[in-house]
Structure 1
Amino acid sequence: MSAAPQAPAEIAAAVIDPLAYAEWDGLLDKFDVLRRDMPVARIENGDLHDPFLLVTGYDDVMRISKDNKTFLNSPKGVVFGFREGEEIVKAVTGGSPHLVNSLVALDAPIHPKYRRLTQEWFMPKNLKQLEAEIGALAKTTVDRLVEASQENGNGEADFVPLAASPYPLHVIMQILGVPEADEQRMLFLTQQMFGGQDEDLNKTGMANMTAEQITQLVIGAVADFETYFAKITEEKRANPTDDVASVIANAKVDGEYLSDRDMAGYYIIVASAGHDTTSASTSGAMMALAQDPEQFARLKVDRDLLPGIVEEAIRWTSPVQHFMRTAAEDVEVGGVSVKKGDWLMINYVAANHDDRVFENPRKFDAARSPNRHLAFGAGAHQCLGLHMARMEMKILFNELLDRIETVELAGEPKRAKSSFVGGLKTLPLRCTLSK
């Protein structure tokens, strides 16, 4: 085994640059080069961050995702961060690299105990009971989109702020028992945490901030989340209902309620991760359909094609773009030596565009089969809400297909500047309505 080769400076900089993820095709070009020449590459950018190993091949990312004994979530940050910000987080948390102590930051034996608390709630059998409520939210969403497209007289509307963004937010807030009046507050806090350096998504001027200022802003957002959900916990313990917030508030592990920090982390991961990712996949599916009128027309007639549309959209967009892991022992990955304590980035965008697994991966192919993408992760840390995401998208698109006769792009879609959770931030469409 040899040591991981050093990635060229241009590629090393792009991997952690939010702007690079907005310039999608150029980024995919760089990942193609890495998979071919150095599927496990060492990434260094001076003193900006700790060095890490970038893993871009599908098989290697799948292996690491499933091997939670060898590749840990906890010792170092589970999301890439700059050194200056990480030191601030450790000072705030008393040494932990995780500002939010959520499921994604936990390893066995704690992780499976915490995951089991809500796993049953997010299974299809239970979610089926929510179909009518989600259907009503989907109808309201499409009403809003249709109304906006009619107001300007030319059938044009931006799909992201009118549909893709608010719809999954409404759904996840409803299952958390958050009143509609508080939804915008939750959206703002999420944008502070995950808006990255995109000036259109984060209204706090983060693009011009130092790493320390950004970290302090995110710390403030987390504190606001914790304060808000502490009140929710009090309410749900006094008057539990059938929502997931009541499950979290009243859950016990080894006979004890979750600590305040662990409970806040649980709420935050459900509240924040439950809508940005689905929003991105929904936007991706709609863009693909707008670019392919024949596929849209076929889908209107044959709704059995919808699951393939949804699954391919999730692969094609890969909303969660990476996670980090720490090697628990010396091991080999992709033919190179990985030492105990090494930090690794498993990049889902790169893995889901590996042409050794996905033929013509940049093409949106609703008939792609098999489609064993990694957008939901794999193994013990596979996305808890994957069934809900699929269900939400199917319900919304059924409503859209009933109401919209044709759809096409009315301008250039734009992606968010974010290296962690990403997707479209604008999708201008021109629609005609069904009679």
Structure 2
Amino acid sequence: MRSALTMPLMKAAGEQAAQQLEDNIGRLCDGQIFDFASEVAEKVPIGITCSLLGIPASDVPWLLSCSKRALSSKTASTDWIDALEARNEILIYLGDLARSRRQDPGQDVVSAIARATIDGERLPLDDVALNCYSLILGGDESSRVSSISAVQVFEGRPDIWEQVRTGVVDLDSTVEEILRWATPAQHFARTATESFSLYGQEIAEGDIVTLWNISANYDEAQFDCPREFRPTRFPNRHVSLGVGPHFCLGAWLGRAELKAFLIALTTHVVSMEIVGEVLPIYSTFLRGAASLPVRFNRANRPGRVS
């Protein structure tokens, strides 16, 4: 799958995201109240990911709805059957798409995965669907939830926002701190391939072991004052995008999307305010806000110093 996500493809996707974010944020800076989650954060990442996969734009809203149902709930009472049905609907859709692209390939990532070979054999279509589903999940939640969390922290800390807006703070460093601070995916599970001891706890071969990203990213042994948002933090060895062989394949694109979001925000927005109830994401997996009503006040000129 790594060979399917080529750098030219991701760079083109990053440029597309930058233009969409510029357009979306630019039109929402005239003092109107809007939901940042639904008007900006939900639209760009899933749209860019689906574009890479060659998924028709008309299917994107449905896929976003299914993705949200699969990972979270609108209420504190989670319906696990509905979540399971949503996952199955996505997989059935992607399985049909993989079958179609194997027979009639295009220049998209689904076609590349569907026609790729490992040791001379093509992947089963179920595996193609699962790999594409993983790309949709990763491409949606990381940028979506992180950008929402960024607006929340900037609104609550106008001093930090002013430093970011005027170029006192480096945008790349800010992106890394947003990823650490937000930690969109709270945990991942892995299966132990052999028995071993971990800090006195015996792990047997076949046991499911959970890595709590949120705990690692707020580890006092790794981060000074981890519960403070510090865009100048260095080093910033967060695990929001994984590490080692499980490092996120779309990490470059995710960072590019967040940087493009910051560029658009610093260009157009001098200040921001939350003007309504912030609704949480009800999920044991995702962490953040599902709805964020805000008002952006337009800058008279670009705020960053070149």
* Change in CA separation of 1:392 and 1:259 when aligned onto 2, cut-off 3 Å: same
* Change in CA separation of 1:220 and 1:418 when aligned onto 2, cut-off 3 Å: closer
The aligned counterpart of 2:295 is 430
**What letter corresponds to residue 199 of structure 1 in structure 2?**
T
- Partners in 1 of 2:139 and 2:230 — Cα distance? 25
Aligned pair 1:173/2:50, yes or no?
A: yes
Segments of 5+ residues of structure 1 without an aligned counterpart are 1-114, 201-206
CA drift at 1:218: 3.8
The correspondence for 2:20, drawn from 137, 140, 145, is: 137
With normalisation by structure 2, the TM-score equals 0.88
* Change in CA separation of 1:219 and 1:415 when aligned onto 2, cut-off 3 Å: closer
The aligned counterpart of 1:313 is 178
Residue deviations 1:310-329, cap 9 Å, x none? 11111111111111233333
SS state at 1:145 partner: coil
The correspondence for 2:67, drawn from 187, 190, 194, is: 190
Residue deviations 1:43-82, cap 9 Å, x none? xxxxxxxxxxxxxxxxxxxxxxxxxxxxxxxxxxxxxxxx
Q: Which runs of structure 2 are paired with 1:155-304 in the superposition (5 Å)?
A: 155-195=32-72, 197-199=73-75, 207=77, 209=79, 214-215=80-81, 217-237=82-102, 239-302=104-167
- Partners in 1 of 2:187 and 2:47 — Cα distance? 26
* Change in CA separation of 1:219 and 1:288 when aligned onto 2, cut-off 3 Å: closer
- Partners in 2 of 1:340 and 1:272 — Cα distance? 28
- Partners in 2 of 1:267 and 1:336 — Cα distance? 35
The aligned counterpart of 1:13 is none
* Change in CA separation of 1:342 and 1:267 when aligned onto 2, cut-off 3 Å: closer
Identify which range, 257-266 or 225-234, moves more after superposition. 225-234
**What letter corresponds to residue 41 of structure 2 in structure 1?**
A
The correspondence for 1:369, drawn from 220, 234, 258, is: 234
Aligned pair 1:336/2:210, yes or no?
A: no
State the number of aligned residues: 300
Contact 2:98–2:129 (8 Å) recurs in 1: no
Contact 1:144–1:162 (8 Å) recurs in 2: no
Aligned pair 1:127/2:13, yes or no?
A: no
**What letter corresponds to residue 44 of structure 2 in structure 1?**
Y
- Partners in 2 of 1:229 and 1:340 — Cα distance? 32
Which of the pair has more CA radius of gyration?
Answer: 1
CA drift at 1:422: 2.4
The correspondence for 1:387, drawn from 252, 277, 286, is: 252
- Partners in 1 of 2:222 and 2:141 — Cα distance? 27
**What letter corresponds to residue 251 of structure 2 in structure 1?**
L
- Partners in 2 of 1:227 and 1:330 — Cα distance? 36
- Partners in 2 of 1:225 and 1:183 — Cα distance? 11
- Partners in 2 of 1:368 and 1:316 — Cα distance? 11
* Change in CA separation of 1:208 and 1:133 when aligned onto 2, cut-off 3 Å: closer
Segments of 5+ residues of structure 2 without an aligned counterpart are 301-306
- Partners in 2 of 1:375 and 1:306 — Cα distance? 17
Residue deviations 1:97-136, cap 9 Å, x none? xxxxxxxxxxxxxxxxxx4443x52x4x652233332222
**What letter corresponds to residue 198 of structure 1 in structure 2?**
K
SS state at 1:337 partner: strand
- Partners in 2 of 1:281 and 1:420 — Cα distance? 14
CA drift at 1:171: 1.1
Aligned pair 1:409/2:274, yes or no?
A: yes
- Partners in 2 of 1:258 and 1:376 — Cα distance? 25
* Change in CA separation of 1:260 and 1:219 when aligned onto 2, cut-off 3 Å: farther
- Partners in 2 of 1:243 and 1:358 — Cα distance? 40
The aligned counterpart of 2:303 is none
* Change in CA separation of 1:262 and 1:342 when aligned onto 2, cut-off 3 Å: closer
Identify which range, 244-253 or 165-174, moves more after superposition. 244-253
Residue deviations 1:170-204, cap 9 Å, x none? 11111111122111110121122112x4329xxxx
Coordinate RMSD, CA, aligned = 2.4
Q: Which runs of structure 2 are paired with 1:73-84 in the superposition (5 Å)?
A: none
* Change in CA separation of 1:185 and 1:126 when aligned onto 2, cut-off 3 Å: closer
CA drift at 1:301: 2.3
- Partners in 1 of 2:137 and 2:207 — Cα distance? 28
Contact 1:164–1:282 (8 Å) recurs in 2: yes
- Partners in 2 of 1:339 and 1:186 — Cα distance? 38
Residue deviations 1:194-240, cap 9 Å, x none? 12x4329xxxxxx364xxxx24x344333422332244335534554
SS state at 1:430 partner: strand
CA drift at 1:392: 0.6
**What letter corresponds to residue 334 of structure 1 in structure 2?**
Y
**What letter corresponds to residue 417 of structure 1 in structure 2?**
Y
- Partners in 1 of 2:151 and 2:84 — Cα distance? 34
* Change in CA separation of 1:326 and 1:238 when aligned onto 2, cut-off 3 Å: closer
* Change in CA separation of 1:116 and 1:177 when aligned onto 2, cut-off 3 Å: closer
Calculate percent identity across the aligned residue pairs.
27
Contact 1:145–1:162 (8 Å) recurs in 2: no
